[in-house]
Amino acid sequence: MWQSIRRWFDPRELRAVGSTPDYRFSLANERTFLAWLRTGLALVAGGLAAAQFLPPLPLAHLRELIAVALLLLGGAVAVHAVDHWARTERAIRLGEELPASRFPAVLALTIGFGAVLLVVAVLARAFGNR
């Protein structure tokens, strides 16, 4: 495991593989990495906002569950960003096919499912107060 983590953060490890690519490809890979980090940061911010600003919901501890889920998802996105950036950079340097990832689809489905759950919770609260 530590070898994988070292490969993520040690530029000498990455530069020792393959040949130097056209810098535009590396910069595009970096922009994608930064976009993933922004997504992770937004999820973390959403988790903190849920913990601080959501009113109590009809189900006990639902607010805390939402907050923790968003925080964990944000952390997972950040870790995935580093892994995907390193694997993509390595593939670019070796002239290989870029690594495929199901993570964007899984993330989209997870966020969509979470949004549906939140709609149900909001409607339950709205109609429960009548």
Cα–Cα distance list, 130 to 45, 123, 126 (Å):
32, 11, 7
Q: Where are the domains of the chain?
A: 2-128
44 versus 54: the higher-pLDDT residue is 44
Cα 54 to chain centroid distance, Å, stands at 22
pLDDT of residue 34: 96
Q: Which residues contact 126 (CB under 8 A, 6 or more apart)?
A: none
Query: What is residue 100's three-state secondary structure?
Result: coil
**Site of tokens 């909001």:** 122
56 versus 50: the higher-pLDDT residue is 50
pTM of structure: 0.80
* pLDDT tens digits, one per residue of 1-14: 777 667 666 777 77
**Site of tokens 């409607």:** 123
* pLDDT tens digits, one per residue of 57-89: 767 788 888 899 999 999 999 999 998 998 999
**Site of tokens 């950036």:** 85
